[in-house]
Amino acid sequence: MQTLLMTGASRGLGRIAAERILRRRPDVHLVVTARGGTLADDLRASTGNPNVTALTCDLTSAAAIRATAADLADRLDSGALPPLHGFAGNAGLQLTSRACATADGIEPTFAVNVLANFLLVRLLWARFTAPGRIVLTGSDTHFGDLRHNLGMVPAPRWEPVAELASPRPGERTAADGRRAYSTSKLAVVHLVHALARRLPEGVDVYTFNPGYVPGTGLVRDAGPVVRFFSRTVMHALIATPFAMSAASAGELLAEAVTGPRPGESGAYVDRRRVTPSAPESYDLDREEQLWRELCALEPVEML
């Protein structure tokens, strides 16, 4: 038996992936994070697999993430859970501005999409057992061009981490929120590259890009017009190469997390295959700067 930690399993492609893993991998004990509720019970009922544990965690709170990681580490060390072989960082957030702040004073998109993944991996670093696999969900919006974002999301705008993590009270438009999202997904690719150079031998890390997936809840913070547009016109894109259903994307996420090794550690898995990420994402100096500044923002004494 092995343990797999997963965020973002409550809805959309993450929920589909969690159910696929539980149905097909009886050797996996799935640990999911949730703000509360009945997620573990629901997954047990829908899959018939009892090997599910839910840990309460608010991914916008560094203190909550640290407490959850400590709880998981205790369970692993005591033998209450089998060894940790994987982490799927699937939770994602997109807001309609860049003006909001978490209780820690961090811009929420950056907090959930980047900082939470960094913290969970760093805190549990010594618990990952080879062969292990870490998969962080990315987005082709990090390319910043019409082909990849269909004109819906502004291109990323890179800044030092202190700036990326800071709310901008003056940036209150939906375009500002979407740019924060695309930039956070560029940061995810940089983080994966930095991790690939540091993780222990036998522990791989990948970015998984599901493409555009209508109906995942990512636009739940948007206004009614955008939500309606997403449910109708954009949902119709599933019949084209530009989009994918949550069921199909969840299947591919499950495969990326528990299937055959996709490729060399650090690779970008675009739906079904390894492809290059955006040219801008290959910047060693920027990746190392991101790593240093994340370590400074949230210093970690590994559990």
**CATH number for 11:** 3.40.50.720
Number of domains in the chain: 1
Yes or no: say if 245 and 17 are a contact pair by the CB < 8 Å rule: no
104 vs 233, which has greater pLDDT? 104
Flag whether 303 is in a domain: no
Q: Which helix (H) or strand (E) holds 130?
A: strand 128-137
Q: What's the pLDDT score for residue 300?
A: 85
Q: How confident is the model at residue 243 (pLDDT cuts 50, 70, 90)?
A: low
- Lateral strand order in the sheet of 268-270: 52-56, 28-34, 2-7, 84-89, 128-137, 203-209, 268-270, 273-275
Yes or no: say if 59 and 51 are a contact pair by the CB < 8 Å rule: no
Q: The whole model's pTM is what?
A: 0.91
Flag whether 302 is in a domain: no
Mean pLDDT of 190-215: 93
Domain containing 159 equals: 2-297
Q: How confident is the model at residue 232 (pLDDT cuts 50, 70, 90)?
A: very low
- Mapped onto helix, strand or coil, the DSSP state of residue 159 is coil
pLDDT digits (tens, 9 = 90+) for 109-166: 999 999 999 999 999 999 999 999 999 999 999 998 888 877 789 999 999 999 999 9
Mean pLDDT of 5-19: 97
Flag whether 35 is in a domain: yes
Within 8 A by CB and 6+ apart from 56, the residues are 33, 34, 35, 36, 64, 68
Q: Which two tokens stand for residue 263?
A: 């490729």
Q: How confident is the model at residue 91 (pLDDT cuts 50, 70, 90)?
A: very high
- 56-82 per-residue burial string, b: 16 or more CB within 10 A, e: under 16: ebbbbbbebbbebbeebbebbeeeebb
- DSSP category for residue 243: B
Q: What's the pLDDT score for residue 68?
A: 98
Q: How confident is the model at residue 234 (pLDDT cuts 50, 70, 90)?
A: very low
pLDDT over threshold 60, residue 204: yes
Flag whether 239 is in a domain: yes
Angle subtended at Cα 107 by Cα 102 and Cα 111, rounded to the nearest 5 degrees:
80
Flag whether 230 is in a domain: yes
